[in-house]
Chain A
Amino acid sequence: MKSKARLMQGNEACVEGAIAAGMRFFAGYPITPSTEIAEFSAEKLPLVGGRFIQMEDEIASMAAIIGASLAGVKSMTATSGPGFSLKQENIGYAALAEVPCVIVDVQRSGPSTGLPTSPAQGDIMQARWGTHGDHPIIALTPSSVRETFDLTIKAFNLSEKYRVPVILLMDEIIGHMRERVELPDISEIEIINRKKPAVSREEYLPYKADDDLIPPMACYGEGYRFHVTGLAHDETGFPTNNPAVADKLYRRIVDKIEFHKDEIVEWEEQNTDDADIIIISVGGVARAADTAMKQLREKGIKVGTYRPITVWPFPDKRLVELADRVKAFVVAEMNLGQMVLEVERIIKDKAKLIKVNKVNGEAIYPEEIMEKIEEVL
């Protein structure tokens, strides 16, 4: 049974998705353009027995969701650029301590306070490398209201499955856009929960991974009496200075995502079969790319689109295949060239690379992409 179609904002769809995925704790701090996510969470969580808290700052919000997750409750926070910067240290903590949690970043123009109410995609590299040290991360980029719902669920599922912080990398366009959506019935949604230890307290090694490189996770209050630290640790969870043990830990937490990359990555492509030119974009920009493609096709120009849905890890294998047979890629993004660095790394010099960048706080319009393509043809 499907719910009745209704007009919904991207930020609201995020909260609907989170609650459907099992989120029962949200900690946040007001920041434009993500504030509605906190507001909807405050309204909806107590209705399902969950809890909301507005913390004293962004850092505390990130810390609180890690704590709640360790106590066994699916947790999320939401923010934008300046807050995302503040959360980075604890995002690294979640990555090293392998605590599932979801961080929503509704990107706005920056750096610093920038243009608070204007869209941007300037946090693509920060989502990957914002915290210090080598670490795993997953980042998802929705480009519609309905997809925001779906990807928020996916964010929780991936986070629970791989014990990794997952970033829902939205942009102001998607966060504030309203679309008519029909949400699926809860029974149709696949929900993944973290795997639990099957052994007693005496036998439990909190950081001993199974063959899939993921350790089963107990939660506080269950009687396991285990230790969690942000220091490099061994399988028991206690700190170590042993170089071999530290090396093994760092490699495992990165490898566990790399190892499952084919299961994690997701992308969408349109009209790539005969395309001479492929536009690569994410989030709000992908909507302009779609229009540009259609209009150029009407003019007889063979354009396709490639939209990473997981921007991290980047869906690179398919891009390599496409690079062998297209003339050019156009990377359109609301920044001065971040995702293009990844594309460049993947396609090397197999195809021409054209950049469309905008950082004035306005969306990229289809015409701007079309003009650039027509210019180089």
Chain B
Amino acid sequence: MNINETVTDKLVVNENWCKGCGICVKFCPKNVLKIENEKVKIVDIDKCIQCGLCELRCPDYAIYVRGK
């Protein structure tokens, strides 16, 4: 499988698994994420506080906090 992964220091996004439901976007307290073409995208990684709420509620394990 071709893995489309976005890896940053704070977050990892696996676009293959993302179904674009938007749950992570909505419950991110710092507006780090958005949905674009039905996939999650990182808008502003500097704002990420690695609270892990996106990972906690992502039904498809397509986003997680790195190094925690």
A and B touch in the complex (CB under 8 A): no
Chain A positions near chain B (C-beta within 8 angstroms): none
B contacts, CB < 8 Å to A: none
